[in-house]
Amino acid sequence: MSEPKPTYRHDYRPPAYRVRHTELRFDLEPGATRVRARLHVERHPERQAGEPLVLDGEQLLLTSIAIDGQALAEAEYALSDTGLTVLRPPERFLLDTEVEISPRENTALEGLYLSNGMYCTQCEAEGFRRITYYPDRPDVMATFSTTVVGDKATLPVLLSNGNPVERGELPDGRHFVTWDDPFPKPSYLFALVAGDLQKVEDRFTTMSGRDVTLQIWVEKANLGKTDHAMASLKRAMQWDEQTYGREYDLDLFMIVAVDDFNMGAMENKGLNIFNTAAVLTHPHTATDATFQRVEGIVAHEYFHNWSGNRVTCRDWFQLSLKEGFTVFRDQCFSADVNSAPVKRIEDVAFFRTAQFAEDAGPTAHPVRPDHYIEIGNFYTLTIYEKGAEVVRMLCNLVGWEAFRRGSDLYFERFDGQAVTIEDFVDCMAEASGLDLSQFMLWYSQAGTPEIDAHGEYDYANAEYRLTLRQRTPATPDQPEKLALHIPIRMGLVGTKSGRDLALTLDGKPLDRDGVIHLREAEQTFVFTDVPEAPVPSLLRGFSAPVQLRFPYGREDLAFLLANDSDGFNRWDAGQRLAMLALDDLIAAHRNGVEKVMDPRVVEAFRALLERGSKDKAVMAEMLTLPSEAYIAEQQPLVDVEAIHAARTFVEQSLAAALSDDFLRLYEENRSDIPYAPTPEQIGQRSLKNVALSYLMAIEDEQAVALAHQQFEADHNMTDVRHALTLLVHSSRDDLADPALRAFGEKWAHEPLVMDQWFAIQVTRPQTDALERVRYLMGHPAFSLKNPNRVRALVGTFANQNRINFHRTDGEGYRLLTDVVIELNRLNPEIAARLVTPLTRWQRFDEPRQELMKGELERIRAEKLSPNVYEVIEKALAQ
Ligand code: B3K
Ligand code: ZN
């Protein structure tokens, strides 16, 4: 295999030819599906006549090709591994091709493949080229007419984008349906589904009074698990009308659930295809977290109908144009329909752990990358989550009203077009009158900006001087960075009054939101008329995706934890306080010194428990210690054992000191009322389960009995899963083993529940976890061909069981490598994602570095897919 070549953003050129309309006909057969395509092609007005027509195509067997009805001679076109070139096409013509493909052999799950006997497609980003020869790039937009032909007995349901316009019977027990999609779209939004499916149907009336049919298609066994997705869809449709003035445009909106799917879901026009894990729910099988995830993903894909489909990306470097904006939209939706502070806390906790790690590692890239080898590797936390943070900053900078005007302008001006990130930001600049040129650096510079802040209170002059210094560390290809425009929402909390003080900056009151704008490498802000000594509350609501350091004392943090008016920063003060204690304990562990718990942390938690909170979900977050992964992210060099020991010590110390409070909290929040995924119930359950986790940290008889009872009570999956996890992660194998066995037998027929069963076992801190992974890979419910199974068993182990994955004998690394090597052949997209933990080798001690690099070398010696090749090269280039 020759070395894969990068694609550069600066090489962008409009296509030489456009496709006005695309007619497709599929004759479905597992091993030999015939695809006939008729493309209505014309020369791009800005390009010269006589240029060749270049079509993408991979793993296709061409059986015929004609232009305007005339078969082409061999000399008139050229075929390669990556496509087909028509050497001298006319200005305007019909191109007919016929190819043969094999869905049965397709384990990469890109293009047309078979999942559990049903045909389905995944075309984003470059899957359509595995279906037919086509200009497979997002700036070629065409209307589609698709005829699907299949065996009527085994494939009674035949779906594609748009509206069904014709159906009928054919000889040999076959039938067909023709679908018309009137909205021009790029090939990546094409979809086809065929199988033995059942539907659940509902209706939605749009704001202009149009009636839309909503359908969720599933296998028969899953018919009872669609209610929540349907309700979420209707809520999302209404929210987008109310919030963004966006209405649905076709008469039919379909969701299909498939077992084998690389991502969560895909926003194909009118026919969203979902991973079963991202759409199916039932109180007996799904946890609260799954209910919330399903709601968010259903909304996300629906929102793409405007931010992505009606207005799409000019090229894949602009991916965050649709993904960052759509994630921002789904985050706001979830915040509106659930607990807004908790949504923000969860998103930021995840962001600061996983995106910060990505931005500090060998695959760091800007929100708008400059080059890629395999675009499939760029569906990253940076494109999605950092992209969303950048849009959020824009929204906060210009204010909601201007942001909404900018978004209206964007959708109107560019409807039906493929555009760039600049086009989007220009609309925001135009609608607000703000100069956003410095802000654009957020799109081009990779790496997490670090801000060092310090402040001084001047009693004599009643002034508070806040100095901020920003610096963005070097990242691959980007040694030098410029100063960014960073909005910092802040307050000064009076130490006497415990209240936010009025802020006067440069003689003027600071705007109502309390935002200061850091634009220089170093800037000092002088607040005047500050009547009492304050503690600054900085970066409220995580107003910018940065790492902010301030030399807070523990008293300051306990004070903010009790008094900050910003809920997010109250939570963050607790996290910072815990981090200070954890840092000391990590050092103690490393130095072999006895660990002593900081009484100030215990008292802060006690005060928190005594004060209580109206929002139970917020309270649960406040009581949750930073994860091992987050703690690791904050250390210069990761000491896996010390982090685990320190965190466990803090948990046990708090549990021992506050066990009465935790017991009270547990009892107060028990409930027998029927399960519903409402924000109130979810909050109550998380608080109860946090309390149970603390009680189980010391494993006294009473705690063990409570966990066991909660498991046996079998009230809902959230409680059952939590109790089972605590038992399996405890030393009580006498209770855990029978519980695990019972759970595994009960749910053997439910793959998504078996995923939970795998995850619970492989996150066990005991030393047998790795052997369990190897053993469970032979379990009948496991398959390397199903991405959900791989993620639940192998991905969960490598990412969430840090002490066992990083075993000093290197067995964890070896296990992951073995799986990556196999998946490199079967499913390169999943393989390239799964290898991530090994690419972070620079963060660990030298013996581990050597072991990890050794495994990366072992992968490099294989014949690699472009996906894995790109990641491994970056990881080893460090
Ligand atoms: N747009 C899809 C991404 C699929 C890419 C797979 N290589 C899912 C989403 O963001 O909505
Ligand atoms: Zn998306």
Bridge-based pairing of strands 77-79 and 83-86 is: antiparallel
Q: How far apart (Å, rounded) are the C-alpha atoms in residues 421 and 387?
A: 11
Place of tokens 């698990």: 225
- Considering only CA atoms, which residue is closest to atom 7 of ligand 1? 376
Q: Element (H or E) spanning 806, and its range?
A: none
Whether residue 464 contacts residue 537, with contact meaning beta carbons closer than 8 Å, is answered with: no
Contact 707, 696 (CB under 8 A): yes
Which residue puts its alpha carbon closest to atom 8 of ligand 1? 266
Instruction: Confirm whether 301 is a catalytic residue.
Output: yes
pLDDT tens column, 202-217: 999 999 999 999 999 9
**What is the pLDDT confidence band of residue 703, given thresholds at 50, 70 and 90?**
very high
Nearest residue by C-alpha to atom 9 in ligand 1:
266
Backbone angles phi, psi at 690, to 5 degrees: -65, -45
Q: Global pTM?
A: 0.99
User: How many CB atoms are located within 10 Å of the residue 592 CB?
Assistant: 6
Partner residues linked to 863 by β-bridges? none
Q: Which two tokens stand for residue 184?
A: 């021009």
Q: Which residues pair with 478 in a beta bridge?
A: 475
Indicate whether 470 belongs to any domain.
Answer: no
The Cα angle at residue 588 between residues 584 and 593, in degrees rounded to 5: 145
- What is the SS3 assignment for 729? coil
- Is residue 547 one of the residues assigned to a domain? no
For the segment 150-182, what is each residue's pLDDT rounded down to a tens digit? 999 999 999 999 999 999 999 999 999 999 999
Mean pLDDT of 78-90: 97
Residue 96 lies in a domain: yes
Among 479, 492, 504, 487, smallest CA distance to 451 is for: 487
In angstroms, the CA 463 to CA 501 distance is 12
Q: Which of 255, 263, 330 to mutate to test the pocket of ligand 1 (most atoms within 8 A of CB)?
A: 263
Q: Which two tokens stand for residue 60?
A: 């296709």
Q: What is the side-by-side order of every strand in the sheet holding 118-122?
A: 111-115, 118-122, 192-195, 157-160
In the set 124, 295, 301, 750, the catalytic residue is 301
**Residue 737 counted as domain residue:** yes
Atom of ligand 1 nearest to the CA of 829: 7
Q: Is 253 helix (H, G, I), strand (E, B) or coil?
A: strand
Q: How far, in Å, CA of 857 to CA of 868, rounded?
A: 12
Angle at alpha carbon of residue 218, lines to 295 and 751, rounded to 5°: 80
Q: Which ligand 1 atom minimizes the distance to the CA of 267?
A: 11
What is the extent of the structural domain holding 88?
1-196
Which of ligand 1's atoms lies nearest the C-alpha of 125? 7
Please check the confidence at residue 613 and state whether its pLDDT lies above 90: no
Kindly give the number of the ligand 1 atom that is closest to the alpha carbon of 304: 11
CA distance 589 to 319: 45
**Residue 834 — φ and ψ, nearest 5°?**
-65, -30
Distance 274 CA to ligand 1 centre (A): 10
Testing ligand 1's pocket by substitution, the residue of 379, 381, 827 carrying the most ligand atoms inside 8 A of its CB is: 379
- Picking from 575, 623, 577, the residue whose alpha carbon sits closest to that of residue 600 is 577
The predicted-structure confidence for 788-800, as pLDDT tens digits, reads as follows 999 999 999 999 9
pLDDT score of 512:
77
The closest residue, in CA terms, to atom 5 on ligand 1 is 124
Q: Which ligand is nearest to the CA of 125?
A: 1
Q: Which tokens is 522 given?
A: 């170093």
Ligand 1 pocket by Cβ (under 6 Å)? 124-125, 262-263, 265-267, 300-301, 304, 323, 376, 379
Q: Mention every residue, 6+ apart, whose C-beta is less than 8 A from residue 723.
A: 692, 707, 708, 710, 711
User: What is the distance between the terminal CA atoms of the chain, rounded to a whole angstrom?
Assistant: 24
With a CB cutoff of 8 Å and minimum separation 6, the contacts of 268 are 121, 123, 161, 189, 190, 191
Interacting residues of 311 by C-beta distance below 8 A, sequence separation 6+ = 322, 410, 411, 414, 415, 416, 417, 419
- Check residue 2 and give its pLDDT: 67
Alpha-carbon torsion angle 835, 839, 845, 850, nearest 10: 80
| DSSP track, 188-212 | GG--EEEES-EEEEEEEE-TTS-EE
Q: What is the mean pLDDT of residues 35-58?
A: 96
Which residues contact residue 213 at a Cβ distance below 8 angstroms, ignoring those fewer than 6 apart? 201, 202, 203, 251, 252, 253
Q: Contact at 8 Å (CB) between 143 and 20?
A: yes
645: helix, coil or strand?
A: helix
Residue 3's pLDDT is: 86
Is residue 512 domain-resident?
no
Closest-lying ligand 1 atom to the alpha carbon of residue 262: 6
What per-residue confidence (pLDDT) applies to 670?
97
* The pair of three-digit structure tokens given for residue 625, joined into one six-digit string: 């210690």
Q: Which residues contact 860 (CB under 8 A, 6 or more apart)?
A: 872, 873, 876
Residue identifier of the C-alpha nearest atom 2 of ligand 1: 266
Q: Which of 267, 294, 320, 377 to mutate to test the pocket of ligand 1 (most atoms within 8 A of CB)?
A: 267
Give the Å distance between the CA of 585 and the centre of ligand 2: 41
Q: What is the mean pLDDT of residues 499-513?
A: 93
Amino acid at 18: R
Mean of the pLDDT values across residues 319-346? 98
With respect to residue 449, please indicate whether it lies within any of the assigned structural domains.
no
The first and second tokens of residue 505, run together, are 């900056």
C-alpha span between 223 and 226 (Å, rounded): 7
User: Domain containing 174 — which CATH number?
Assistant: 2.60.40.1730
CATH code: domain of residue 743: 1.25.50.10
Last residue of a domain, one of 170, 196, 222: 196
pLDDT for 335 equals 98
3-state secondary structure of 266: strand
Residue of 529, 524, 527 lying closest to 462 (CA atoms): 529
Q: Has residue 297 got a pLDDT over 90?
A: yes
| pLDDT tens track for 235-246 | 999 999 999 999
- pLDDT, one tens digit per residue, over 799-810 is 999 999 999 999
Please determine, for residue 580, whether its predicted confidence score (pLDDT) is greater than 60.
yes
* CA of 334 relative to ligand 2 center, distance in Å: 15
Nearest to 655 by CA among 609, 621, 595, 614: 609
CA of 848 to the centre of ligand 2 (A): 36
Is 538 within a domain?
no
Rounded alpha-carbon distances, angstroms, from residue 219 to 196, 223, 230, 256, 707? 7, 7, 16, 9, 35
Closest-approaching ligand to the CA atom of 126 = 1
Q: Which residue has the tokens 């607040």?
A: 527
3-state secondary structure of 611: helix
Does residue 301 sit within a domain? no
Q: How many angstroms separate the alpha carbon of residue 74 from the centre of ligand 2?
A: 41
Substitution candidate for ligand 1 out of 110, 188, 266 with most atoms within 8 A of CB = 266
- Order of strands across the sheet with 17-27? 70-71, 61-67, 92-101, 33-43, 17-27, 142-151, 174-185, 163-170
Q: How many CB atoms lie within 10 A of CB 776?
A: 20
- Kindly report the protein residue whose alpha carbon is nearest to atom 1 of ligand 1: 266
Alpha helices in 37-170 (DSSP H): none
Ligand number nearest CA of 374 is: 1
Q: pLDDT by residue (tens digit) across 645-661?
A: 999 999 999 999 999 99
- Residue 433 tokens read as 């009158």
CA-wise closest residue to 97 among 136, 71, 129 = 71
Question: Alpha carbon 654 to chain centroid distance?
Answer: 33
Smallest CA separation from ligand 1 atom 6, residue: 124
Residue 268 CA, ligand 1 centroid: distance in Å: 10
Closest ligand 1 atom, CA of 376? 7
Q: How far is the CA of 326 from the centre of ligand 2 (A)?
A: 6
CA 436 to CA 419: how far, in whole Å?
18
Nearest residue (by CA) to ligand 1, atom 10, is 323
- Find the mean pLDDT for residues 675-685: 97
How far, in whole angstroms, is CA 753 from its chain's centroid? 21
Ligand nearest to the CA of 298: 1
* Residue 401 and residue 428 in contact, taking contact as beta carbons nearer than 8 Å: no
In what helix (H) or strand (E) does residue 410 lie, and over which residues does it extend? helix 400-414
Res. 1: pLDDT tops 60? no
Half-sphere exposure of 245 (CA within 13 A, CB side): 11
pLDDT digits (tens, 9 = 90+) for 177-193: 999 999 999 999 999 99
- The yes-or-no verdict on residue 757 having pLDDT over 80 is yes
Q: Residue 226 half-sphere exposure, CB side, CA atoms within 13 Å?
A: 23
296, 330 contact by CB (below 8 A): yes
| Separation of CA 299 and ligand 2 centre (Å) | 10
Number of folded domains that form the chain:
2
> Distance from the CA of 263 to the center of ligand 1, in angstroms?
7
Ligand number nearest CA of 328 is: 2
678 contact partners, CB below 8 Å, separation of at least 6: none
Model pLDDT for residues 587-597, shown as the tens digit of each residue: 999 999 999 99
pLDDT tens profile 354-370: 999 999 999 999 999 99
Which strands form 486-494's sheet, in the order they lie side by side?
515-518, 486-494, 534-538
In whole angstroms, what is the distance from residue 648 CA to residue 641 CA?
A: 11
125 cis-preceded (ω within 30 degrees of 0): yes
DSSP-derived letter for residue 166 is E
Whether 190 and 231 have beta carbons less than 8 Å apart is answered as no
Across the range 325-347, mean pLDDT stands at 97
The last residue of one of the domains, among 196, 230, 252, is 196
Mean pLDDT of all residues in the chain?
Answer: 98
| Residue nearest ligand 1's atom 4 by CA | 124
Residue to substitute in 121, 124, 300 for testing ligand 1 pocket (most ligand atoms within 8 angstroms of CB): 124
- Indicate the residue among 196, 224, 241 that finishes a domain: 196
